[in-house]
Structure formats: structure tokens, C-alpha cells
Amino acid sequence: MEKSKVYSYDYDDYEEGDKGADTMVADILADSELPELDEIVIGDWGDAWEDSVNQIIDAIVENKEKFSHIKSLFIGDMDFEQCEVSWIIQGDYTKLWDAMPQLEHLTIKGSTDLVLSEGQIKHDNLKSLTIICGGLPKDVIESIRDAKLPNLEKLMLYIGVENYGFDGTIEDIKELLEKSDFPKLTYLGLTDSEIQDEVAQAVVDSKYKEKLEVLDLSMGSLTDKGVDILCQHIDEFKALKHLDAHYHFISGEGMKKLQALSISVDVEDPQEEDEWNGQVYRYPMLTE
Amino acid sequence: MNKTDKKIYLIGDERTKRFSYFQLAAEQLGVNFICLPWSNYKRTWSADILEGGLVKIDPPFWQEADFDKMRDKLEWYRSALMEFGNKEAIYLNTPSVILQMLDKRYCKKVLCDAGIATTKAVVWQVENFEHLLEEMRQSQCSSVFLKPVFGSGASGVIGFRCHPHTGAMSAYTSCQIENGSLYNTKKLTCLTKPSQIQPIIDQLCKMDVMAERWYAKAEHNEKKFDLRVLYQLGKMEFIVARQSKGPITNLHLNNQALDYHELALSKSQLENMEMLCLKATAQFSQCHMAGVDILLKKGSLTPYIIEMNGQGDLLYQDIYGENIVYKRQLQWLNSFL
């Protein structure tokens, strides 16, 4: 069983003490359990809405030999009470890829000031990449599009909305799916989007559909339109075992259509549209 | 007064679950009591009847979403409690205790002065939106809960935060403004535009409002929770965990109650909470019962008292179960007969 540990400061640690982003890695290094860990989860590093994660990344890079056994890293595991996701100041991960060649799973929460790499991402062992945010910047999508990740099996992205950092369009999602090269990808999550039906269309048009075992289109504005697109093309998803569509705006009829498919389907947590001045609003989950 | 002349009175409302389950407990114990309905106060009964009696005071039953109207009703209620306080009687909780706990500012000051762990007050009296922002800047606190000093449950509560540098804001609230008046709804929304937030906060501040620090609460099954501890007659009688996806856990907002056993709190954690309740209730003379809202801080699970309620004893998990809370109250009142 993999051994995981969470490192997180609470309000008093940094408000009344002297803890912050600059002390986080020193505290991890001082932990006698570090050599036995497989996974490190870094939660709140203090004023996460003021201090970026850069000091943490830099310190990991400086001490890379001490982290050489870590297979899974999550940076920014905070809930909304600790810090709104759009307020978390992320950082520049350029040097991390070389510093942690053994890393298999990387999860990042927050997209403000997030730079995955100044150049091309190259990593031979990464199996899963997850970015949780209220809005994914276009340049981050482009970094992933151009990345060289030959062993990537799972890609999980929260697309989000414009107000929280998504400055792209459906064309950027289409390009990501067309131009990227992840030969082992079996789990694709393009979630939390206000254009979820269009995302569904982009996925059914993509080269990845035949190999996907899990398709996650959850937490967004998926409607019956998206359901029809998926159902029309479901036979082309030859390896698909599970469709995650929880948190959605699908009708009862639409849910029945999905549930009638010969794969497992999650359609929990149906949402109601908001109407304001004759306009219909469907808010993704991580934006309200 | 002759011993046998003493009577148990419940000042309450016969339409409420509080009344029906108190009555059920009385029937099961074979104890008689007289209900003095709030609706008949000063019509068929006056405060004089309480003299020499054994009294429990339940709150009046109001279904009022309009804050202005609620403020008038609260004023009426407080003056009634003050009148009862002039009568010599044995109270489960004296009118004075109920009044002290109705005043969230007073209650928090008492707890602070006694060094009891409670959520920290950031602004004792918020004048308006601008004043709140200024006070938050000065105290370097970017996340607060705004609360009417005299209010119950989630009524008027706003979880507000303001980014110290970018000025980005979010306000989690069930309040809405309609036709210039502030209303409570049962739906929690998150507002992010200052143009939406300011009018609500300004309107709320026309009432007496305080702001306290917003702490990250502990989680269970990816949901936030806090605890309502019913502490009465020297022990923790009942605990309900209140779960929520949002920051406000109050059960009126369609949140879920949870059997606290599922939280698997350790013996020492429970002992710490009990000690906290003991110390807190001891600060209020003649306090025999209090609903104590406690948050466990995320990570350390350190308990902090959010607020106390001298009438916070309506717990559905108890009344639909053993109804032990009301039975114990009746046994205690009956012991004076």
C-alpha cells in the first residue's frame, strides 16, 4: 500500500507563527517519515493567495535527491474555506520535470500564475496529470498539447470559466486533442466546463476515443445535447468502461439514455438552470 | 408557597415540535405541565403566573423572512424576557441567560474574557461595507463571517472574503434584496461582484452586525461539518454533526445532519469538547442548558465555540429517537415539586 502524507499549515501556524511557503519544504525534509513516503500532498502553505508556490518548487528542486523516491505529488490541496481556488497563487513548474524523473502522478490545484513549463514538458514516467481549477489558462492547455509524456495514461483537466481564468475557446480544446501525442491515454477528463456539450463533441471527434476506458465530462454544463452526441458515437468508444457525468443539466429522459448504455455511468447530482432576464445560466461546479 | 402549589410551565407554542415532543416526554414520565402560549401572552396570561413556578421558556414560533419585521419581533421578545426576569421562579434557563445568549456579541465577549476557545471577533460592530473592508485590512483578516448580533441560525449570516491585494471578493449568503428589503431564502449562493455584495452588506448592517474570523472547518466524506452539542445539567446530552458542501452548515439551509459517531472522534476529543462546554456554560449564572455550536479546525481538529444558544435544544435526531433531552429537563423541573 502506498504511503501518503499531507503537509499543510493552518491559519495560526502562519498568522501567529513563522510558517509559510519558505518553511514548507524544510518541514517536509525534517520529517523522519519522508524516506518511507510514496506520495506527498502539500495543502495550505500559508497565505496561499499572496505567496506563490515557487519557493516550494525551488526547494524541492534544490533537494531533489531527497525527493527521488516520491511517485505522487499534489500541490495545493486546499478547500474553499482555506482559499478560493481562483485565489491560490500557483507557480512555475519548469524545473520540476527534470528534478523528479521518477514522478508518476502530479496534481495541481489552482491556475493563477501557473506555468507548467517555459519550454516543452518532457517526462518519461508521468502516468497521470490532474489540474483542478476554476479556469484553465490557454497557455497551460498549449503546454499540455505540446508535452512529451509517452507514458501518460490519465489526463484530468478542469476547464472552468472565463471569470476564473479560462481564456481559451473550444478551438483550444480541439487542438489539445488533435495535436497532443499521448499514446497510452486511457482516462480523459475534460470537466467543469461551461461549454461541456462542445467539449463532448470535441472528444467524440478525437483520435483518443477508441482507447479511452474512462471518459469524465462531469461537473460542467452537460445537457441533453451532449448526451445525444455521446450516444450517437458511443460505438466508436471501443474500450470505454465508464462515463462520469455527475453534476450536470441533463433531463430525466437524457439520464435514462445514458443509463441504458452498456457501460457504467455516473449521472448523480443533477442541477437546475438559473434564469435571469430571459437568459439561461448553467454554472459549472467549481465556479459558483 | 405550599409545595404542592408549584407548577411546571412551558412558555411556548402548541404548533411546534418543541411543544409536542416536550408533551410526549411529559406523558411518558407522568409529569404534568401547563403550556403558556406565546400567542396569548398578556391576553389570557401574564408574567405574574410564573411567580414561584418551575419554568421552561421556548422561543416564539415565527416564520418571518423579512429582516425588518424580524427585528421588531425580536425587540418584543426581548422585552417579554426582561419582564419574566422580574419574577421569582425556578427556570431551566433564566430569562437573563436566554437574553445573554441571544446577544452574540455579549456571549462572545464573555467567552473571550474567560479565555475560552471561541472563533475570534474581527469587528465587534460593523457599520457598513466600507467599514468592514477597512477593519479587515487593518486586522489583516481576509475571510470573515458576518452575523446579526440578535439572530438565530443562518439568518443573515454572510461568509465574506476580500483578497487583500487584488480586491477580489466572494460572499456566501442566503440573503437577497427584494424591493429594497433584505430577505432570507433557503438557498445559499456565492456572489463575487462588489456591486452585488455591497448593497446586501450595507442593508444587513442596518441591523446590529458583528464579524468574526472564518476558520476552515473539518471535513467528513468531502463535506464540511460542525457540531451542535446540547450540554445540559452538567453533561453533553446529545451531539449532532451538521454537514454542508458550503461554508454555512445550518440545517435550515437543507444541509444534512449526521450521526456524530460516524466522525469517529476520539475519547480525548470528546472530553475536550465536554470541558469546553462545561467552562462556557459556567460563565453564565443559572445556565442549565445550552446548545453549543462547535467547529473543529481543519487539520488539528481543535474545538472552538462558534456561538451558544440558551434555547438550542430542538434536535430532531433526539426527539425522533429517545427524546432524552426533554425527558431530562422534565425530570429536573419535576425534582423541585
Q: Does A81 touch chain B (CB under 8 A)?
A: yes
pLDDT value for B252: 57
Q: Does A8 touch chain B (CB under 8 A)?
A: yes
Cβ separation B213–A11 shorter than 8 A: yes
- Name the residue facing B216 among A15, A81, A87 (closest C-beta): A81
Collect all residues with Cβ–Cβ distance below 8 Å to A260 and sequence separation of at least 6: none
| pLDDT exceeds cutoff 80 at B63 | no
Backbone phi and psi for residue B101, each to the nearest 5 degrees, phi listed first: -80, -25
Backbone phi and psi for residue B319, each to the nearest 5 degrees, phi listed first: -65, -35
Cβ separation B216–A84 shorter than 8 A: no
Q: Does B186 touch chain A (CB under 8 A)?
A: no
User: Hey, is A136 helix, strand or coil?
Assistant: coil
A188, β-bridge pairs:
A155, A215
Q: Does B187 touch chain A (CB under 8 A)?
A: no
Give the pLDDT mean for A73-85.
93
Q: What angle do CA A37, A39, A40 make, to 5 degrees?
A: 95
Q: Does A163 touch chain B (CB under 8 A)?
A: yes
pLDDT value for A267: 97
Per-residue confidence band for A145, with pLDDT thresholds at 50, 70 and 90? very high
Inter-CA distances, A227 with A125, A131, A210, Å: 35, 25, 18
pLDDT value for A48: 87
Q: For an interface test with A, which of B187, B249, B298, B300 has the most A Cβ atoms less than 10 Å from its Cβ?
A: B298
| pLDDT exceeds cutoff 70 at B141 | yes
Chain A: closest CA distance from residue B216 (Å): 5
Q: What angle do CA B48, B14, B5 make, to 5 degrees?
A: 35
CB A139 within 8 A of CB A112: no
Q: Work out the burial of residue B52: count CB atoms within 10 Å of its CB; fewer than 13 is exposed, 13-18 middle, 19 or more buried.
A: middle
Tell how far CA B5 is from the center of its chain. 34
CB A193 within 8 A of CB A176: no
Least CA distance to B302: which residue of chain A?
A10
- Residues in chain B within 8 Å Cβ distance of A11: 213, 215-216
| pLDDT exceeds cutoff 80 at B300 | yes
User: ipTM beyond 0.85?
Assistant: no
CB B211 within 8 A of CB B268: no
Per-residue confidence band for A51, with pLDDT thresholds at 50, 70 and 90? confident
Q: Does A82 touch chain B (CB under 8 A)?
A: yes
Give the pLDDT mean for B155-162.
90
Chain B: closest CA distance from residue A141 (Å): 25
- Name the residue facing A10 among B140, B224, B297 (closest C-beta): B297
| pLDDT exceeds cutoff 70 at B2 | no
What is the distance in angstroms between the CA of the first residue and the CA of the last residue of chain B? 12
Least CA distance to A12: which residue of chain B?
B215
pLDDT value for B1: 45
- Name the residue facing B299 among A8, A87, A163 (closest C-beta): A8
- Name the residue facing B224 among A8, A50, A81 (closest C-beta): A81
B86's grid cell = 422580574
A250's grid cell = 441533463
| pLDDT exceeds cutoff 80 at B253 | no
pTM for the whole structure: 0.83
Give the pLDDT mean for B267-279.
95
- Residues in chain B within 8 Å Cβ distance of A163: 192
pLDDT value for B179: 84
Chain A: closest CA distance from residue B19 (Å): 36
| pLDDT exceeds cutoff 80 at A28 | yes
Chain A: closest CA distance from residue B298 (Å): 8
Chain A: closest CA distance from residue B247 (Å): 7
DSSP string, B70-135: HHHHHHHHHHHHHHHTTS--EESB-HHHHHHHH-HHHHHHHHHHTT--BPPEEESS--SHHHHHHH
Chain B: closest CA distance from residue A68 (Å): 27
Chain A: closest CA distance from residue B142 (Å): 10
Cβ separation B217–A80 shorter than 8 A: no
Least CA distance to A9: which residue of chain B?
B299
Q: Work out the burial of residue B117: count CB atoms within 10 Å of its CB; fewer than 13 is exposed, 13-18 middle, 19 or more buried.
A: middle
Per-residue confidence band for B237, with pLDDT thresholds at 50, 70 and 90? very high
Per-residue confidence band for B254, with pLDDT thresholds at 50, 70 and 90? low
- Residues in chain B within 8 Å Cβ distance of A271: none
- B37's enclosing H/E stretch is strand B34-37
Cβ separation A50–B165 shorter than 8 A: yes
Q: For an interface test with B, which of A9, A11, A283 has the most B Cβ atoms less than 10 Å from its Cβ?
A: A11
Per-residue confidence band for B248, with pLDDT thresholds at 50, 70 and 90? confident
pLDDT value for B187: 80
pLDDT value for B189: 86
- Name the residue facing B300 among A10, A49, A87 (closest C-beta): A10
User: Hey, is A287 helix, strand or coil?
Assistant: helix
Give the pLDDT mean for B16-37.
97
A185's grid cell = 491515454
Per-residue confidence band for B68, with pLDDT thresholds at 50, 70 and 90? confident
| pLDDT exceeds cutoff 80 at B243 | yes
Chain B: closest CA distance from residue A87 (Å): 8
The C-alpha atoms of residue B295 and residue B84 are separated, in whole angstroms, by 33
The C-alpha atoms of residue B142 and residue B295 are separated, in whole angstroms, by 19
Cβ separation B216–A87 shorter than 8 A: no
Please name the amino acid found at residue B212: E
Dihedral sign, Cα of residue A161, residue A162, residue A165, residue A166: positive
